[in-house]
C-alpha cells in the first residue's frame, strides 16, 4: 500500500503490528549472535533446553510444556489432534483460530463480544454443547481480558469441553497473575494455555511459542508435532527472553501507562470510540455514521501521513467502521493522535436522502 501511494515504507510508523516497541532486549540480541555459530547443527528435537527454562520460570514440570514454532503451530495442531465436532469461537478474535478450526471440518458457533463482561456471558450460554473453545485472553483485536477466577469457574463447570486459552499478550497485562491460567492448566484435563515470546520480546521473526497443560494433554500434542520445529537461534533467544524479567516488567508498566493515555486521547477525538484495553493495543470504532469515512479509507489517509493502522473490516464480527492501533513510545503515540485528527478532518458528511 505504501508503494502504491509513493510512500517510503521504511519511514512509516507501524501501529498495525502490536509488538513491544522497546524490544528485543540486549540479552536476547546477544543470545542470537551466539546462536548463529551453531546454525550448521540440528536443533534439539523438542527444544528441550527451552522447555526446561520455561518450566523453571513457571515452576512446573517440563512434562507440562510443549515448545513450538510460534504459538501459531499449536493453534493449528491442537484442533487437528482432537476430533472436534462443535467449536465455540468468540468474535472478533485472531483470524487464525477460525482458519485452523475450518481446516478440521468442525462446526463453529460464533458469539460476538467486544468487552469482558459480554464475552463471559456469551461463553456461559454457548459452551454447554461445545467440545472445544478457543479464546484469546487478552482478546485480539479488542484487548479485553476475562478474569482468571471467572474463566476457571466456567472451565470447571464444562469438563467435556477442551478450552484453548491463548495468552499471547498476557505479558502486557498489569496484573498478569489475575489473568493467566498457566499454573492452573497443569492440574486440569480440559484446558491448554498458549504463550508467545514474540510479542513482549520483539522477536516475531524468530517464531517461538509454547503451551502449558497437564502431562497427558501435553503428551498428546507432542506426539502429533513435527520434530525440530524450533530452530537453534529461536531456542537460545527464548531462553534469554525468559531470563529478562526486569525488561518485561518495565515494558509492561510503560506501555500500560501509555495505553491509558492513548485511550483518553483517542476518546477525545470527535466521531471515534476507543475500547479500553488490558493489552498493548486497542480497538477503535468510527462511531459517527454521518461521515463518509471507513476504516479502509482512514488506513489510506493515515499512510499518507506516515502511519500504518490495522483495518479490522475483515474480522468476523466487525465491519468497515473498526480499526486497531498498537501502543508505542510516547512520541509515536502523540504522532498517531495528531495524524488521526488531521485525517478525520478530510471526512465529508454523507448526503441526506
**pLDDT single digits (tens) 194-222:** 999 999 999 999 999 999 999 999 999 99
Q: Which three cell numbers stand for residue 139?
A: 482478546
Q: Return the axis-axis angle of helices 295-304 and 330-344, rounded to nearest 10°.
A: 120
Q: Are residues 202 and 100 in the same domain?
A: yes
φ, ψ of residue 171 in degrees (nearest 5): -65, -15
Residue 335 lies in a domain: yes
Give the model's pLDDT for residue 150.
95
| pLDDT per residue as tens digits for the range 288-307 | 766 789 999 999 999 989 99
Cα–Cα dist 252/158, whole Å: 33
**Nearest residue to 339 via CA among 296, 294, 309:** 309
CATH code assigned at 179: 3.40.640.10
Give the model's pLDDT for residue 233.
96
Q: How many residues does the chain have?
A: 353
Residue 171 lies in a domain: yes
Q: Are residues 255 and 131 in the same domain?
A: no
Q: Are residues 262 and 224 in the same domain?
A: no
Residue 351 lies in a domain: no
Residue 349 lies in a domain: no
Q: Are residues 203 and 251 in the same domain?
A: no
Cα–Cα dist 162/4, whole Å: 45
Among candidate residues 210, 243, 276, the one where a domain is terminated: 243
Question: If pLDDT is split at 50, 70 and 90, which confidence band does 176 have?
Answer: confident
Q: Are residues 282 and 269 in the same domain?
A: yes
Question: If pLDDT is split at 50, 70 and 90, which confidence band does 352 have?
Answer: very low
Task: Count other Cβ atoms within 10 Å, centred on residue 279.
Answer: 29
Residue 173 lies in a domain: yes
Q: Are residues 236 and 277 in the same domain?
A: no
Average pLDDT over residues 89-106: 96
Q: What is the DSSP string of 274-287?
A: EPP-SSSEEEEEE-
Residue 352 lies in a domain: no
Q: Are residues 267 and 120 in the same domain?
A: no
How buried is residue 49: exposed, middle or buried, by Cβ count under 10 Å (0-12/13-18/19+)? middle
Question: Is the per-residue pLDDT at 136 higher than 90?
Answer: yes
The answer to whether the Cα torsion of 114, 117, 119, 125 is positive or negative is negative
| pLDDT per residue as tens digits for the range 69-92 | 999 999 999 999 998 999 999 999
Q: Look at the block and give the residue holding cell 499454573.
A: 183
Cα–Cα dist 278/255, whole Å: 10
The reply to whether the predicted model has a pTM over 0.85 is yes
Distance between first and last Cα of the chain: 34
Question: If pLDDT is split at 50, 70 and 90, which confidence band does 147 have?
Answer: very high
**Nearest residue to 333 via CA among 282, 270, 294:** 282
Q: Are residues 212 and 274 in the same domain?
A: no
| pLDDT per residue as tens digits for the range 3-60 | 776 777 677 899 999 999 999 999 999 999 999 998 899 999 999 999 999 999 999 9
Among candidate residues 214, 243, 272, the one where a domain is terminated: 243
Residue 264 lies in a domain: yes
CATH code assigned at 309: 3.90.1150.10
Q: Are residues 214 and 170 in the same domain?
A: yes
Counting the structural domains of the chain, the total is 2
Q: Are residues 108 and 223 in the same domain?
A: yes
Q: Are residues 138 and 157 in the same domain?
A: yes
Give the model's pLDDT for residue 353.
46
Q: Where are the alpha helices (DSSP H) in 169-244?
A: 182-185, 215-224, 232-242
**What residue numbers bound the domain in which 230 lies?**
26-243
Question: Is the per-residue pLDDT at 177 higher than 80?
Answer: no
Residue 2 lies in a domain: no
**Nearest residue to 163 via CA among 126, 190, 137:** 190
Give the model's pLDDT for residue 11.
77
Among candidate residues 222, 243, 264, the one where a domain is terminated: 243
Q: Are residues 274 and 147 in the same domain?
A: no
Amino acid at each position: 500500500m505504501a508503494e502504491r501511494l509513493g510512500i517510503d515504507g521504511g519511514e512509516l510508523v507501524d501501529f498495525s503490528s502490536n509488538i513491544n516497541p522497546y524490544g528485543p532486549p540486549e540479552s536476547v540480541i546477544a543470545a542470537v549472535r551466539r546462536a548463529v555459530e551453531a546454525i550448521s547443527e540440528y536443533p534439539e528435537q523438542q527444544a528441550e533446553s527451552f522447555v526446561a527454562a520455561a518450566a523453571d520460570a513457571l515452576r512446573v514440570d517440563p512434562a507440562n510444556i510443549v515448545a513450538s514454532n510460534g504459538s501459531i503451530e499449536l493453534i493449528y495442531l491442537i484442533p487437528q489432534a482432537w476430533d472436534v465436532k462443535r467449536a465455540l469461537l468468540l468474535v472478533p478474535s485472531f483470524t487464525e483460530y477460525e482458519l485452523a478450526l475450518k481446516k478440521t471440518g468442525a462446526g463453529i458457533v460464533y458469539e460476538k463480544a467486544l468487552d469482558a463482561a459480554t464475552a463471559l456471558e456469551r461463553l456461559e450460554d454457548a459452551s454447554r454443547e461445545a467440545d472445544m473453545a478457543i479464546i484469546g485472553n487478552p482478546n485480539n483485536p479488542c484487548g479485553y481480558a476475562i478474569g482468571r477466577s471467572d474463566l476457571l469457574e466456567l472451565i470447571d463447570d464444562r469438563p467435556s469441553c477442551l478450552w484453548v486459552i491463548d495468552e499471547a499478550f498476557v505479558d502486557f497485562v498489569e496484573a498478569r497473575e489475575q489473568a493467566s491460567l498457566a499454573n492452573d492448566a497443569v492440574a486440569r484435563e480440559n484446558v491448554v494455555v498458549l504463550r508467545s515470546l514474540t510479542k513482549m520480546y520483539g522477536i516475531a521473526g524468530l517464531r517461538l511459542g509454547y503451551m502449558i497443560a497437564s502431562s497427558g494433554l501435553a503428551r498428546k500434542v507432542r506426539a502429533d508435532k513435527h520434530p525440530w520445529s524450533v530452530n537453534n537461534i529461536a531456542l537460545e533467544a527464548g531462553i534469554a527472553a525468559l531470563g529478562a524479567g526486569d525488561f518485561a516488567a518495565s515494558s509492561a508498566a510503560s506501555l500500560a501507562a501509555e495505553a491509558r493515555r492513548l485511550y483518553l486521547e483517542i476518546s477525545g477525538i470527535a466521531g471515534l470510540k476507543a475500547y479500553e484495553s488490558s493489552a498493548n493495543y486497542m480497538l477503535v470504532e468510527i462511531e459517527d455514521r454521518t461521515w463518509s469515512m471507513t476504516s479502509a479509507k482512514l488506513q489510506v489517509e493515515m499512510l499518507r501521513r506516515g502511519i500504518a493502522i490495522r483495518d479490522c473490516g475483515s474480522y468476523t464480527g466487525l465491519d468497515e467502521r473498526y480499526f486497531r492501533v498498537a501502543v508505542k513510545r510516547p512520541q509515536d503515540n502523540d504522532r498517531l493522535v495528531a495524524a488521526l485528527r488531521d485525517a478525520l478532518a478530510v471526512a465529508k458528511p454523507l448526503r441526506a436522502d
